[in-house]
Structure 1
Amino acid sequence: MASDDQFQRFIFENSQVRGAWVRLGDSYTRIGSQAPYPDSVRQLLGESLAASVLMSGTLKFSGTLSLQANGEGPLRTLMAECSHDRHIRGLARFDEHAVAEDTLNALLGQGRMAITITPDQGQRYQGVVPREADTLAGCLQEYFDRSEQIPTSLFLFANESHCAGLLLQRLPGDTEQDDDLWDRVNHLAATVEADELLTLDSQTLLHRLFHEETVRVFDAEPVVFRCSCSRDRTLGALEAIGRDECYSILEEQGAIEMDCQFCHAHYRFDRNDIDHLFTGHTLH
């Protein structure tokens, strides 16, 4: 049985073809326990979490990468986020009709999907993900082909207890020799079964798929569920709402209470907190 909650990069020696593998267990279970998700929604959330880890691993930056979708179907909102240090979180909002749907487009209906990269320093970037394919993996492959112009193959699976993914990319500067290699490894990767990706450790899986190739595997990195919410960040959200709105809520309710959508942490702010937020000192 594979180790849970790990991400691992690999490369095919003497080529411009690289890859990455991820498998999530405990972190996926914790995120999935935040709401009574129907199987179809839970599976798509798991695929999104695996994809966010794989995609963040292709970037050299400090910050977060998030996959976000908003639709008019039974699945209203889908979000999966991974930071550069492999901290993940995610959520989905749905109605009861989601139980009957099992494909990406049927769940989301008409809507928009985007990838947002938020570096710790620098400008945020957002790219729109095409919604022409029937699967999340297919949509993300088209995103890389069109927006990043990097040929990419993605394989994503999820069940009740685990989610996993495999990514292959062909980087710029390749040679004719890489043409044959890219074709071969994609043909081999396309044979992977959900059970293999969800249960095998990376070494066993990569050997089973690519034993005729020379593959260098890098050290595995742990992946954990960790929410980035905090009292200070929540105060920042209240500041963005504005002074008048905050004091209006105080007058009506006596305090402002907010729950994190990702981890259900509860934050309560009284008049003294709001006075200090907007004036720098306590008035009452």
Structure 2
Amino acid sequence: MSDQIVRVLAKDAPIKASAISARDLVERSRQIHKTLPVATAALGRALMGCSMMGNQLKEEHGTVTLQIKGGGPLGSITVTSDSEGNVRGYVQNGEVELMEKVPGKLDVGQAVGVDGTLTVIKDIGLKEPYVGSIGLLSGEIADDITAYFAESEQIPSACALGVLVDTDQSVLCAGGYLIQLLPGADDEVISKIERGVHAVGPVTTALKEGISALELVRRVLSDFELEVLEESPVEYRCYCSRERVSRALISMGREELTALLEEQGSAELTCQFCDAVYHYSREDLEKLLSEI
């Protein structure tokens, strides 16, 4: 089953929700960045959360960037999604040794840390992007995304994200959901959602059965009648290119580019998101200089 994201509305209550199944996406990020299990789980959760947030954008060329700096051994996590939910990202220290709460349960919260912030940057084509930031609640990422929506956007939400890593360190399953209350939701609606969240339990337990993103959100919101707004594929997608890297070099300006040419004679730049390497010879750099 290919990775998928789904958006739904409840017909009988003021609720909107998204869900994602993203085993291939998270496995692709693991292969690119060669992460060990706790980093795979942390980066995977961030990728999926950002993907659902990006998929909510109405602007075709909008983007959402999630930055998590918790002070833990993983360092910072940065992920970016387009408006379709295609996402890319990296973790600063992907080779952190195994950290577990109990045997078989990765301690993502301790690896991320709580001494820092979660920052959301939404670029929807306006003069300045929207930036919202909160102090980290638990470092578990889903809890922090829930807190972000409550504090920065005043949207009561329930977010769950899970990545199950196999014994060979590959990703066995990954997915999650984001449920949000619209104006007019009463205590009965909240109680029904809470019962559904409790009944489903950890998302990886449900995903191990091979269920789809739609089935996941239907299980959580089983007390409501749902209307499916969209089902679409998502993937790990980087937009880097030699043209973009060249523009970045040109943007350094004549003085810095000349210094680079004189000191090194060539350049090798690596994309942080996909680890693609771009080589620039002396002739390449001289050509860029001539274009400034």
Q: The TM-score by the shorter chain falls in which range?
A: 0.7 to 0.9
Question: Does the 8 Å contact 1:79/1:90 carry over to 2?
Answer: yes
Distance 1:58 1:96, change over 3 A: closer
Amino acid at match of 2:31: S
Partner of 2:44: 46
Q: 1:169 aligns with which of 180, 192, 196?
A: 180
Residue 97 of structure 1 deviates from its aligned partner by: 4.8
Unaligned runs of 5+ in 2: 101-106, 166-170
Report the more deviating stretch, 6-15 or 184-193: 184-193
Unaligned runs of 5+ in 1: none
Amino acid at match of 1:186: E
Question: Does the 8 Å contact 1:70/1:111 carry over to 2?
Answer: yes
Question: Does the 8 Å contact 2:5/2:213 carry over to 1?
Answer: no
Q: 1:196 aligns with which of 200, 206, 226?
A: 206
Distance 1:95 1:164, change over 3 A: closer
Distance 2:82 2:232 in 1: 13
1:109-163 deviation per Cα after TM superposition (whole angstroms, max 9, x unaligned): 6333211112345421221132123521111111111110010110111112232
Report the more deviating stretch, 140-149 or 59-68: 59-68
Matched, 1:29 2:37: no
Partner of 1:6: 4
Q: Output the TM-score relative to the length of structure 2.
A: 0.85
Distance 1:274 1:35 in 2: 28
Distance 1:235 1:145, change over 3 A: same
Question: Does the 8 Å contact 1:74/1:95 carry over to 2?
Answer: no
Distance 2:275 2:213 in 1: 33
Give the share of equivalent positions with the same residue, in percent.
28
Distance 1:127 1:207 in 2: 30
Q: How many residues align?
A: 276
SS in 2 for 1:99: coil
Q: CA RMSD in A?
A: 2.3
SS in 1 for 2:75: strand
1:167-223 deviation per Cα after TM superposition (whole angstroms, max 9, x unaligned): 110123x25xx4422321232123323221453113433443434421112331110
Distance 1:70 1:9 in 2: 29
Counterparts of 1:102-113 in structure 2 under 5 Å? 102-108=107-113, 110-113=115-118
Matched, 1:253 2:253: no
Distance 1:104 1:200, change over 3 A: same
Report the more deviating stretch, 77-86 or 206-215: 206-215
Distance 2:98 2:215 in 1: 35
Matched, 1:187 2:185: no
Partner of 1:224: 235
Residue 106 of structure 1 deviates from its aligned partner by: 4.2
Residue 253 of structure 1 deviates from its aligned partner by: 2.4
Q: Output the TM-score relative to the length of structure 1.
A: 0.87
Distance 2:181 2:131 in 1: 22
Partner of 2:16: 18
Amino acid at match of 2:156: P
Distance 1:21 1:255 in 2: 46
Report the more deviating stretch, 121-130 or 219-228: 121-130
Distance 2:245 2:206 in 1: 42
Residue 273 of structure 1 deviates from its aligned partner by: 3.4
Amino acid at match of 1:152: S
Distance 1:97 1:266, change over 3 A: closer
